[in-house]
Amino acid sequence: MSAPLPDLLIAPIVRASLAEDLGRAGDVTGQACIAPDARLSAVFATRQAGVVCGAACARVAIAELDPSARFETVVADGEPVQPGTALARVEANARALLAAERTALNLMGRLSGIATLTQRYVDAIAGTRARIVDTRKTTPGLRALEKYAVRCGGGVNHRFGLDDAILIKDNHVAACGGVTEALRRARAFAGHLMKVEVEVDTLAQFDEALAEAPDVILLDNFSLADLREAVRRAAGRVALEASGGISLETVRPVAETGVDVISVGALTHSASVLDIGLDAV
């Protein structure tokens, strides 16, 4: 299970979301309808089966508007849930709670959806050597949260940004004039802790890359036959990552070719929101 994210990372995202919602005058509906000192108790509950993630976002959102709020997390991030499961309970100033509600639900639903989809991919390749990893195809501003949700779903994070590792893609290769030259420049630049990965589109490029001994070779849109051949040629000398349009229907055959890693952009760019509601009790 992934370690929880510290509030330090969550708070700026939550504050930006609250500011976007509250606008220039705050929640005018709450101001019009609810007494300033009214209190409200409510339960966050899921309406779908899935993997929960993001209760801390709800807690931080509510606390930003009511520091005295009492928030109890019932289900830990990464746990499977069924429809109707209570995820968290809260008691807070009514105006504050209802003003924070949409930010809390947006983030919980989004992150739980990512964790749920990731778990489906992980389950689909159970028993193989491959691991499911995410990509940088994340929602701008939400990368830390979305990659945390991938971990909660049993996946593994790829690089977080452009400064984590060297990943030479096809346009880098084109700009350098070839795979060999790109890899040699990368090796000359990289420090002793920085890994070097290169993307290849053909077995011919694969052989060229293999000769330069990168840490990882990314096999982009390879057929199953070519994936198996690349695994055979690599013979364990380099980690192999398969990528490119991989779906829940195709991920198992890809894993069975023997690759080490399968990167799936859909984990973060196409996950459906898990339906979570907040109901007064």
pLDDT digits (tens, 9 = 90+) for 177-221: 999 999 999 999 999 999 999 999 999 999 999 999 999 999 999
Q: β-strands 261-263, 239-243: how paired?
A: parallel
The answer, yes or no, to whether residue 237 has pLDDT greater than 80, is: yes
The span from the CA of 143 to the CA of 116, in Å, is 17
pLDDT digits (tens, 9 = 90+) for 43-54: 999 999 999 999
Residue reference for tokens 């030479």: 168
Closest CA to 65 of 100, 32, 36: 100
The span from the CA of 255 to the CA of 225, in Å, is 12
CATH architecture for segment(s) 7-122+272-280: Alpha-Beta Complex (3.90)
CATH assignment of 125-269, given 3.20.20.70, 3.30.70.20, 3.40.605.10, 3.90.950.10? 3.20.20.70
Q: β-strands 166-168, 196-200: how paired?
A: parallel
Positions annotated as catalytic residues are 102, 137, 169, 199, 220
Contact between residue 122 and residue 261 where contact means Cβ atoms under 8 Å apart: no
The span from the CA of 217 to the CA of 198, in Å, is 5
Instruction: Name beta bridge partners: 41.
Output: 91
The span from the CA of 281 to the CA of 133, in Å, is 40
Residue 121: C-alpha distances to residues 37, 156, 275 (Å): 47, 12, 20
pLDDT digits (tens, 9 = 90+) for 149-174: 999 999 999 999 999 999 999 999 99
Contact between residue 237 and residue 207 where contact means Cβ atoms under 8 Å apart: no
Domain boundaries, the chain: 7-122+272-280, 125-269
H-run or E-run covering 123? helix 94-124
The answer, yes or no, to whether residue 92 has pLDDT greater than 90, is: yes
Contact between residue 112 and residue 54 where contact means Cβ atoms under 8 Å apart: yes
What is the mean pLDDT of the segment spanning 21-44? 98
230 confidence band (pLDDT: 50, 70, 90)? very high
Residue 174: C-alpha distances to residues 68, 178, 181, 244 (Å): 57, 6, 10, 19
Strands of 221-273 (E only): list them: 239-243, 261-263
Cα-to-chain-centroid distance, residue 197: 21
Q: Which two tokens stand for residue 219?
A: 């096999």
Closest CA to 200 of 181, 219, 185: 219
The answer, yes or no, to whether residue 1 has pLDDT greater than 90, is: no
Q: How many CB atoms lie within 10 A of CB 253?
A: 12
Residue 163's SS3 state is coil
Instruction: Report pLDDT for 2.
Output: 79
What's the mean pLDDT when you consider all of the chain? 97
H-run or E-run covering 251? helix 251-255
Residue count of the chain, please give it. Answer: 281
Q: Do domains 7-122+272-280 and 125-269 have the same CATH topology?
A: no
Contact between residue 132 and residue 109 where contact means Cβ atoms under 8 Å apart: no
Q: Which two tokens stand for residue 32?
A: 């019009």
Contact between residue 198 and residue 179 where contact means Cβ atoms under 8 Å apart: yes
Q: Which two tokens stand for residue 200?
A: 């290849």
